[in-house]
């Protein structure tokens, strides 16, 4: 017994020592022992753990090498949505941001300036100082659980150092692949006859999603942390909380600074714009955040972005190359997009072969012609775009580009409606790319989320006449899929299981999946909660629809047009017959109309419910949420630590104030 206790104590001591040495090497970049000494201690710990499995710990330093276990990823819902940041590309746009913040907050705040890493966003959850989960951004609400892979990244602490951290918190950051690792991996891939990665971000993304953690460990990934969220944070300052996180063992960028004026922000941007090439990893801009958490709460969020943070993108790299030809792609809505085929050219670390031409107006504006030498830019868009032509290199007999008049896929005459930038193919019923595009949209993660199916598989099933519209997904048989090239019995069963599970998807996502023009995620949710079911929605006219909050004439007309089509009605009837959800649950639909016509603004912190829960109560009782005080505001629901700017505006506009309890009495 004494011997076992001694072994246990030795294991604990080795784990503590190795964790400290690991932190000094990978986070502080100041190793205190040699690699040889570190490896010997690690081998000793591995031997002791192997001989004494009763002392096993999933967060031991020995687990960083990864295992050979191959498994698919489970999906996990973020406690706090992982929103993206709004982008700016000029100092003028940034000045507008500063003005909006000052106006909304009623003061001039401090800003935290950080580098914008070009990697893969990750959310790490810690409970009682131990890593319990690592989840990718995914769609912002749901991501992939990649905990086993993340454990192999040496700069991410498995167990925290020091004290003072909350019992539960999430910390967000970016997983990056240093240039040295990127070059070594590409060298190995070329030697093995594989395609090299286009850039370090793609390499990092591919590595995080590998199914074998032992292979991930070989990729030498790194991770910088930049935001922390929890219920009981130590400070109201973002900067101070990140400095605390540094003491707990996280790799917080040394470049992070706090600026008390826009001029100091611009100095930070100018410095890193000139010196970004000196870094051992890729950055593509700077991120600015309001430092004070209470001011952050005051400013709030839009549907997609926080109002208290923004990214400034460095000016896009530009390259010149030859335009070889133009393809015309057909989207799921029938929209035609011209795409340029280029002589391959290196741009911002990526080999570019294609670039968007957007529409006929853009081609005419730049007078873009085949065989021109064009300027290609890669800014905020994933697909590079052509921004100009070097006419000095143009041949004298070069013909102008005539935009196509018929669909390149089905031959139907194209139309262009008033006010529309794009041409459209009106053949929604039999134009192949539109059919495949609608099916791909239907199965996507934010819609029906059907596992086992991707764009290539959908295209194959369509070409084999197994699916000709979305209803055919529910007629598929495993034996018909299994015989197709590249699939097999296991893939076929996974597809069928995914199709069956999709019958549990809630109405609001089914409505979004139908692909009604202008009905995106937010609009679908609003319709589902306001109307309640598909049968009522089908019978509504434009006047009835525009009475629903945020539904305008354009959206209403599109919904009426959709259900005026016999084909669409038959399709919906089939889906109803297959058992899909076309009715909101009792929890989703509005409970009452008691708050109808009232607009609420929520500020401060609350004891009984979170701000999001209160917002949901307002919507479910017919009310409307707003982020800013105006003459249209009916009530301010005020918790603790209300910002002074909002209170000043409330008094000025004579807006009524409710406490949390008073609001609950109002809806009870």
Write out the two tokens for 293.
């958490």
Domains and CATH numbers, the chain: 2-65 (1.10.287.610), 87-91+103-257 (3.30.470.30), 317-393 (2.40.50.140), 432-504 (1.10.150.20), 507-577 (1.10.150.20), 599-667 (3.40.50.10190)
**Token pair of 563, please?**
């259900």
Active site residues: 116
The predicted structure's pLDDT at residue 193 = 67
| Residue 381: per-residue pLDDT | 46
- Count of CB atoms within 10 A of residue 96's CB? 13
Residue 191: count of CB within 10 angstroms of its CB: 8
Per-residue pLDDT tens digits for 522-535: 789 889 988 989 99
- Residues 299 and 426: their CA atoms lie apart, in Å, by 44
What three-state secondary structure class fits 77? strand
Quick one: which H or E segment has residue 662?
helix 660-667
Q: Which helix (H) or strand (E) holds 341?
A: strand 336-347
Q: By three-state DSSP, how is residue 319 classified? A: strand
DSSP H helices in 260-358 = 262-275, 293-299
**Under 8 Å CB-to-CB from 533, ≥6 apart: which residues?**
507, 582, 583, 584
The CA-CA-CA angle for residues 471, 476, 480, to 5°, reads: 150
DSSP of 536-587: HHHH--HHHHTTSTT--HHHHHHHHHHHT-HHHHHHHHHHHHTT---B--TT
pLDDT (tens digit, 9 = 90+) per residue, 573-614? 999 999 999 998 766 655 677 888 888 988 887 888 888 788
> Tens digits of per-residue pLDDT, 462-505?
999 999 999 999 999 999 999 998 888 999 999 999 999 999 99
> If residue 223 lies in a helix (H) or strand (E), which one and from where to where?
strand 222-229
CA distance 573 to 219: 50
Could you give the C-alpha distances from 262 to 98, 286, 480, in angstroms and in order? 7, 14, 63
Helix residue spans in 331-466 (DSSP H): 360-366, 432-443, 455-463
What the block records as the tokens of 559 is 């919904």
Answer yes or no: are the C-beta atoms of 148 and 65 closer than 8 Å.
no
Q: What are phi and psi of 253, to 5 degrees?
A: -60, 135
**Could you tell me the two tokens for 39?**
């490896």
Q: Please count the other Cβ atoms lying within 10 Å of the Cβ belonging to residue 471.
A: 18
**Look-up of token digits 């960083």:** 64
Low-confidence ranges of the chain (pLDDT < 70): 1-2, 25-31, 34-36, 39, 64-72, 192-195, 198, 303, 316, 348-349, 379-383, 586-591, 643-645
Q: Are strands 283-290 and 309-313 parallel, antiparallel or unpaired?
A: antiparallel
- Which contiguous run of DSSP H or E holds residue 568? helix 566-577
Rounded Cα distance, 429 and 412, in Å: 12
Burial of 186 by CB count in 10 Å (0-12 exposed, 13-18 middle, 19+ buried)? Answer: middle
First and final CA of the chain: distance in angstroms? Answer: 62
How far apart, in whole angstroms, are the C-alpha atoms of residue 594 and residue 524? 22
Long-range Cβ pairs for the range 555-563 (8 Å, 24+): 555/518, 555/519, 555/523, 558/516, 558/517, 558/518, 558/519, 559/516, 559/519, 559/527, 562/514, 562/516, 562/517, 563/537, 563/538
The answer to whether the Cα torsion of 18, 20, 26, 30 is positive or negative is negative
């Amino acid at each position: 017994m004494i011997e076992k206790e001694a072994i246990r104590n030795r294991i604990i001591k080795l784990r503590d020592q190795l964790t400290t040495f690991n932190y000094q090497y990978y986070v502080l970049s100041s190793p205190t022992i040699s690699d040889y000494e570190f490896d010997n201690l690690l081998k000793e710990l591995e031997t002791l753990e192997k001989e004494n499995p009763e002392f096993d710990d999933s967060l031991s330093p020995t687990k960083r090498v990864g295992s050979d276990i191959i498994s698919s990823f489970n999906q996990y819902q973020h406690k706090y949505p992982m929103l993206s940041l709004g982008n700016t590309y000029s100092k003028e746009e940034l000045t507008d941001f500063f003005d909006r913040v000052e106006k909304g907050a009623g003061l001039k705040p401090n800003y935290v300036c950080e580098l914008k890493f070009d990697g893969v966003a990750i959310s790490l959850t810690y409970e009682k100082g131990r890593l319990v989960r690592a989840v990718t951004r995914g769609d912002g609400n749901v991501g992939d659980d990649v905990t086993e892979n993340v454990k192999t990244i040496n700069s991410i602490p498995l167990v925290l150092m020091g004290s003072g951290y909350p019992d539960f918190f999430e910390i967000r950051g970016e997983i990056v692949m240093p240039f040295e690792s990127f070059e070594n991996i590409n060298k190995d891939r070329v030697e093995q006859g594989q395609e090299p990665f286009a850039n370090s971000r793609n390499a990092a993304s591919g590595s995080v999603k590998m199914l074998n953690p032992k292979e991930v460990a070989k990729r030498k990934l790194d991770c910088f942390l930049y935001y922390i969220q929890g219920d009981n944070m130590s400070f109201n300052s973002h900067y101070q909380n990140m400095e605390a996180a540094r003491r707990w063992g996280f790799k917080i960028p040394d470049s992070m600074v706090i600026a008390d004026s826009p001029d100091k922000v611009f100095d930070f941007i100018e410095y890193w714009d000139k010196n970004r090439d000196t870094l051992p990893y890729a950055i593509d801009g700077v991120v600015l955040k309001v430092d004070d958490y209470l001011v952050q709460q005051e400013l709030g969020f839009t549907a997609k972005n926080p109002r208290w943070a923004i990214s400034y993108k460095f000016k896009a790299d530009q390259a010149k190359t030859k335009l070889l030809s133009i393809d015309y792609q057909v989207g799921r809505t029938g929209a035609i997009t011209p795409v340029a085929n280029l002589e391959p050219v290196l741009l911002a670390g990526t080999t570019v072969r294609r670039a968007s031409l957007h529409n006929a107006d853009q081609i005419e504006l730049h007078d873009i012609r085949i065989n021109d030498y064009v300027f290609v830019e890669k800014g905020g868009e994933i697909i590079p775009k052509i921004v100009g032509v070097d006419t000095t290199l143009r041949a004298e007999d070069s013909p102008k580009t005539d935009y196509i008049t018929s669909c390149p896929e089905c031959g139907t005459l194209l139309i262009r409606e008033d006010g529309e930038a794009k041409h459209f193919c009106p053949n929604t019923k039999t134009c192949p790319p539109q059919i495949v595009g609608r099916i791909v949209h239907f199965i996507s993660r934010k819609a029906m989320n059907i596992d086992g199916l991707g764009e290539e598989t959908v295209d194959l099933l369509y070409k084999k006449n197994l699916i000709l519209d979305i209803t055919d997904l529910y007629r598929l048989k495993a034996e018909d899929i299994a015989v197709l090239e590249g699939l097999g019995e296991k893939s076929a069963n996974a597809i069928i299981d995914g199709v069956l599970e999709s019958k549990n998807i809630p109405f609001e996502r089914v409505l979004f999946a139908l692909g009604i023009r202008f009905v995106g995620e937010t609009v679908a949710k609003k319709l589902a909660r306001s109307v309640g079911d598909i049968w009522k929605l089908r019978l509504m006219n434009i006047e009835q629809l525009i009475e629903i909050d945020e539904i305008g004439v354009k959206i209403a007309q599109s919904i009426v047009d959709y259900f005026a089509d016999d084909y669409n009605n038959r399709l919906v009837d089939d889906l109803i017959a297959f058992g899909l959800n076309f009715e909101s649950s009792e929890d989703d639909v509005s409970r009452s109309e008691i708050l109808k016509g009232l607009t609420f603004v929520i500020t401060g912190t609350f004891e009984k419910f979170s701000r999001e829960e209160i917002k949901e109560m307002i919507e479910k009782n017919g009310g409307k949420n707003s982020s800013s005080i105006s003459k249209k505001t009916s009530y301010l629901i005020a918790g603790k630590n209300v910002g002074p700017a909002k209170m000043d505006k409330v008094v000025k506009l004579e807006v009524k104030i409710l406490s949390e309890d008073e609001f609950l009495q109002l809806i009870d």
